[in-house]
Structure 1
Amino acid sequence: MRKLRIFMILITLSLLVTGCFGAKRLEGEVYITALGFDYKNGKFEVFSQGLNFGNIAKQEGANIEDFPILIGEAKDESLLSAYGELEQTTAMPLSLGHVQAIILSERIIKEKKMADVLDIMGQSPNFRYNLFVFGTKENIKELLQTQSFFNYSQVYSIIHGPEPLIQQNYSLPILKYHQFTTRYYRPIGTIMIPSLSINKDQFSEGKQKQIATVNGEYIMSQQQYKGWLNKEDLSGIRWFSKGIQGFSVRVGTKKVSVKIKNPKTKIVVLKGNQPSYRIAIKGQAALFQNSDNNTNGELQSVLNKKIKKDILTTLEKGDKLNTDVLNISEKSYKYHLNDWDIGAIRGFNLDAVKDIKVEIKIIESGKYK
């Protein structure tokens, strides 16, 4: 009787313990971390980048070569059927819950295939709306095989984590999928899709590294492709980007450098028959390099003229593409629809910007340790 009682207690306790019935083994699936879409010769191509947990959590003493990147590719007449081809031929189930980025080929963007991308993204409940969107004219398969530093996983690259780099030292904006879908159908303004290239020349670890980097932006407006602009063309866009806490600027020559902290940009809408705008930029800067021993007053004047010139350069580049690349007209669309119709607001051009006033003050000098 005593043995029976002990047996019954053990059975009861075992039922109280939380079980893992039906749980999937981590190594039993392929975790897709990025997808690439292309369109060539009348067919869509889908590329998938798969990483296992050995890639993501680098084990002590192991090289990243021990955990290769798995690249899948398939083609068909639609993106959905091409991805279905991947699922039907894989040796392990594909999991889309960890996708962090989608990469669109230049052909997808130029040949008006964005509706197909939106369709496949809307078909799966596993896609998150905060994943990053990129464009490229590179071979997507090669781009998905680019590397990070120090044998770390590719998840520590700009494809999967561009935000820290953008906040620190990039001047080009990043794009998330929810921002893309919001702007794609908006009758006003511009979408900028970051353009990825492969840097094969500047970094090496025993052998040359191939690093993904952002080199420009694809410009779209009202669901139409407008063109491509490089970093120099978009030098004025940093003053209209949110979330950037500070960045360094070369003033005049490479012997002078300042760091600008939390600049504030204000767009004022001016009334009239057509909408027009005044731009005002204010901020403070710290002087970090001044080999020519210029006075703060001299440097402030040169700095403010440079910023104004950068903004005008970007406005001119956008004007040639017949688009409001800095999205200045969105201010009228959001707050002044009672004053002008959509057609008038869409008519934004370089002449609509009546004044650009820049007041960046150098308030301190950088000190050497």
Structure 2
Amino acid sequence: MRRVVYALLVGLGLSILLAGCWDIKAIQDTNYITAIGYDYKDGQYVVYAQMIDFANVSKREGGKAGEPASVWSGHESGGTVIEAMNRLYKTSQQRVFWGQVSSIVFTEEALKKGMSEFLDGLIRFREMRYTQWIYGTKEPIDRVFMMLPFFNQSPIGSILHQPEDTYRQRSYIRPLRLQKAVSIFREPGASLLLPSLGIADNTWKIKGRNDPKLMVDGMFAVSKDQQAVWFPDEDLIGLRWMDPGTKRSDVMLRSSGKPAVSISVDKPKSKIKVDIGNNGKPNFSVRVRGKIYVSEMIQQMDEPEIVRTANETIASEIEHTFARGLERGIDLYMFNHSLYRKRFQSWSKLTDSGKTPLSDLQMRLPEVKLKLIHTGMYKIKQPQNEY
């Protein structure tokens, strides 16, 4: 009998030490922040937060939804970023969890104030990571946060949270993660090129009404030496050929000023070379290699003509973007950083160890060599030999 009582007492004592789930929180009892927005108005830091009903989203797997997912957007202001974030708790109703944040959006005014002032408190917080997508925008952040994808799908499927799929099909402006942004921002001579989110109001319709959708409409160039400068996507037409992450991009070749052949360039590779002239100033040259595929032929062009026109067109686009950057004092191709990497002594001398970045950049005519791989189901006209 004593053994039984002793065993019961020991078992009761050990049960007290067991971990339990008495403090567990159900998913519907927690508010999950999925995106953060930053603005700066009237000397105050403004913090926006997007929340999505994950319980509602989880029911949509395996079929289409009949109703759009519920999305909330809220904001508060304060003397610091953390103060504004803390004020959001007053109306949150339930515990707020920041570990689900996948996107960070800055307004133009916030970028002019300085990214570091907004990010310092954020990246120190233990619930946050460095894997969020990061954007700038000229649109109101609360409107950006309310944009939904097609077919009443989860808002997590929009460009705001998942930009990679769209970029693989149209490699124009590369999406950027926070960890990459922080590393670039700290590099000497580097300019941070931040994708810009816009809203297309008139592209899509549903039931005869406009259905606005998110899009990447340009880029903010951010550096330590000057305020953020916005470029529309048409000014960045040559940047895709200099980006190592470009998967595929389309080009329209023209003949006599009219559209002739549409081609796709797959995985172009670029290289920047730096030479120091007799005057001690650097000269930059760009080389691009890639494979091209014919996707549409409006006017007949033979193979050599297609390749030659494609080389000339891409070289012209690279020059166009370089010139647009110089006009606004921005080194879009980060030639300053290439000089720092490849000719450090010259960089240190010419820039006073990075205090005065080079402004009178010079680039030779880009060297572009493309190889035609496939012309589609129809053969193209071959040039006739002349005797």
Normalising by the residue count of structure 2, what TM-score does the alignment of the two structures yield? 0.85
Aligned equivalent of 1:279? 286
Aligned equivalent of 2:366? 356
Aligned equivalent of 1:155? 156
Distance 1:342 1:33 in 2: 46
Asked if 1:257 is matched to 2:262, the reply is yes
Q: Unmatched 5+ residue regions in structure 2?
A: 379-387
Amino acid at match of 1:271: I
Aligned equivalent of 2:274? 269
Q: What does the per-residue CA deviation read over 1:129-149, in whole Å, with 9 as the maximum and x for residues that have no partner?
A: 111111112111111001111
TM-aligned CA deviation for residue 58 of structure 1: 4.3
TM-aligned CA deviation for residue 185 of structure 1: 3.1
The structure 2 residue matched to 1:322, chosen from 329, 341, 350, is 329
Distance 1:209 1:342 in 2: 55
Q: What does the per-residue CA deviation read over 1:273-320, in whole Å, with 9 as the maximum and x for residues that have no partner?
A: 122221111112111211212111111111111101111111001111
Aligned equivalent of 2:66? 63
Distance 2:313 2:64 in 1: 49
Q: Unmatched 5+ residue regions in structure 1?
A: none
The structure 2 residue matched to 1:303, chosen from 310, 320, 324, is 310
Indicate the SS of the match to 1:150.
helix
Aligned equivalent of 1:337? 344
* Equivalent pair of 1:184/1:223 in contact (CA under 8 Å): no
Of 176-185 and 305-314, more deviation after overlay is shown by: 176-185
Of 92-101 and 259-268, more deviation after overlay is shown by: 259-268
Aligned equivalent of 2:381? none
Q: What does the per-residue CA deviation read over 1:1-41, in whole Å, with 9 as the maximum and x for residues that have no partner?
A: 9xx99x98xx89x97x9964433211111110001111112
Q: CA RMSD in A?
A: 2.6
In structure 2, the CA distance between the partners of 1:212 and 1:342, relative to structure 1 (3 Å rule), is farther
* Equivalent pair of 1:188/1:222 in contact (CA under 8 Å): no
TM-aligned CA deviation for residue 158 of structure 1: 0.6
Distance 2:73 2:28 in 1: 17
Distance 1:347 1:231 in 2: 25
TM-aligned CA deviation for residue 68 of structure 1: 1.4
Asked if 1:365 is matched to 2:375, the reply is yes
Indicate the SS of the match to 1:232.
helix
Aligned equivalent of 2:31? 30
In structure 2, the CA distance between the partners of 1:62 and 1:239, relative to structure 1 (3 Å rule), is closer
Amino acid at match of 1:295: D
Q: What does the per-residue CA deviation read over 1:110-162, in whole Å, with 9 as the maximum and x for residues that have no partner?
A: 2x232321222233122211111111121111110011111001111111011
Aligned equivalent of 1:182? 183
Aligned equivalent of 1:205? 206
In structure 2, the CA distance between the partners of 1:342 and 1:204, relative to structure 1 (3 Å rule), is farther
Distance 1:46 1:353 in 2: 42
Structure showing greater Rg: 2
* Equivalent pair of 1:63/1:151 in contact (CA under 8 Å): yes
Normalising by the residue count of structure 1, what TM-score does the alignment of the two structures yield? 0.89
